[in-house]
Each structure stands twice: as C-alpha cells, then as structure tokens.
Amino acid sequence: MTLKYYHAEPLANSLKSMIPLKEKGLPYESIYVDLHKFEQHSDWFVAINPEGQVPVLDHNGAIITHTTVINEYLEDVFPEIPLMPRDPVGKARVRYWNKFVDEHVMNHVSMHGWHRLVGVIARNIESGEFEKLLEHIPLPDQRRKWATARSGFSEADLANATDKIVYALRKIETQLGETAHLAGDMYTTADINFFSHCGAMVERMFPEMEVAKNYPRLVDWRERVKARPAVAEALASEDRTAPGLRTWSGDR
C-alpha cells in the first residue's frame, strides 16, 4: 500500500484530511505544497490535480480530491478504526453535519481569512506579476477570489459571513448540549471537519464574539478534540507559513 498526501500547513482543508490519516494510524508520504509560492498552480501539481487545490490523496495511483470525499474514501478503504458510525442513521447524521460545515461554515470563515490575510499577500505582488499568477489558476472561482482579495471584500459580504458564523456557533453550542460530539456520542469526521475550519481558530479571528463566554460547550468540545494524540500530531506537522500570517490560512 502506498499513500501520498499532498497538503499545505495544518489548518483548514489540509488539516481536515490529515487528522483522519493520523487517527487511523495510516503511514503516508507527506508532500508539502507551498501555497505562498503558488506551488498549487504549478505545472507539476496541476498534473496531479487539474483544479490546482490541496489537499490531494494518492492511494496506489488513485487520485482523490476534496476533503469530504477523501475522508469518506478513507472510511471505505480503511474501516478498522472508524470515524463514522456503522448504522445508516448514524451515517446520515455525520453526513448532515459535514454538509452543514461544508456549505454554511467553511466558506464564510474562509472569506474573512482571505480578506484579512490572503489580501495582504495579493497586494504585495506587483501588478504585472499578479495578472500572470491569475492566468495560472485553473478554477474561475479561485481567480475571482484572488482578484477580490486584492481589492478587498465588501463590508456587506463580510457582515453576512459573520452572521452565518454566529448562526453556526449557536447551532453547534445547542447540539453539544445534547450530545458529546456533533453527530452523537461518537467522535467522527463531522467533528474533524468543524474543528479544522472553525473550532481551532474562531477565537483568534473573531475576539469580539467572546467565544469562551458565549459558547462554553464549544470550547470544552474543542479542547477535547485538541487533546486527542492524532490531532496534536497533525497540528504539529510542517508549516512554512510566515509567522505574521499564521492566524488563518486556507486553500488557495
């Protein structure tokens, strides 16, 4: 068996599929893709993933992309240490929460990260060079995000994203009053998903939300997740991000 994992720093999507690899005890070759050097848009990487995004799992030559798909693939192929219930109802709950995080959390946290930090990177690139970089981004949506990050997201869009994040925090705080983890009493990929995109960074990004005061169950859950050896190991993995940009980083 050969597993290769192409990833960036241990945050957001790169962390989301790294944790299951660690939780399942799967040996893999770690291949760092430096987003700050735009390696994700380089010819060698686009040959692996034509969308030009990390992470990518290569399992014996089979290329799997998109983190939720990667995590379900790992569950199908390596079920010995489960991160999803065996019963259909339990699986449906996990899939519900993963869909919620993917569609209603991740993009809104990402927007603030792009506005605050990726925008700094974009504005520091000379105009002619920036246009050349845009030409090498395979996905049209990603090209637009880079262009918007350079000019800045609108206050209305940022306010809407903040409202969505607050809604998500309240929803999850309520859920954690009923169950130990998002999808029930079992730790699953749903917990890994939310932790990777929001749980590990929301206080640093949004101090005005007073997370510790307003969402104590979420904070307790986050500390329980962080205390897991596999999560701690993943968080300690390679990170080439400049220190001033480590508050947040997302796939670019």
Query: What tens digit of pLDDT does each residue of 126-182 get?
Result: 778 888 887 888 999 888 887 887 888 899 999 999 999 999 999 999 999 999 999
Look at 49-53, 148-152, 225-229, 248-252 and tell me which has the smallest mean pLDDT. Answer: 248-252
> What are the start-end ranges of the H helices in the chain?
12-23, 43-46, 67-77, 88-104, 106-113, 119-123, 127-135, 140-151, 155-176, 189-194, 202-205, 211-214, 216-226, 229-235
Question: What is the three-class DSSP state of 105?
Answer: coil
70 close to 210: Cβ distance less than 8 angstroms = no
Give one word for 64, left, alpha or beta, with left for phi > 0 and alpha for psi -120 to 50: beta
What predicted TM-score, i.e. pTM, was given to this entire model? 0.90
Query: What tens digit of pLDDT does each residue of 40-87 get?
Result: 999 999 999 999 999 999 999 999 999 999 999 999 999 999 999 999
Paired tokens of 114:
């792009």
Paired tokens of 35:
């987003």
Q: Which CATH number fits domain 88-228: 1.10.3720.10, 1.20.1050.10, 3.20.20.120, 3.40.50.720?
A: 1.20.1050.10
Where do the structural domains in the chain lie, given as residue ranges? Answer: 88-228
